[in-house]
Amino acid sequence: TSEVYGRNPAVPWSEDADRVLGPTSIDRWCYATSKAAAEHFCLAYRRLGLPITVLRYFNVYGPRLDRLDVGRVITIFLGQLLRGEPLTV
């Protein structure tokens, strides 16, 4: 998920860059924190010899995609395309 990168202004993002997250009072950042914690657990097991690969997919599509115009860029683009509107980038 792209949320792991947080608010880091250093673009393009790097997996080894510092994570810059918002305040703990904003719920959005608990998702990013939980994903980063999961990566830390996986990488700890890598040091014990378990083969680990971490993927940070985002803006993926498939059968469980959000409703049109809700949430992610893919559904927003699809809604605009179906209505014959220009894509908002």
**Which of 31, 45, 57, 61 is flagged as catalytic?**
31
Distance of CA 71 to the CA centre of its chain: 12
Q: How far is CA 78 from CA 28, 61, 64, 87, 89, in A?
A: 25, 11, 14, 9, 13
- Tell me whether residue 45 is one of the annotated catalytic residues: no
Active site (catalytic) residues? 31
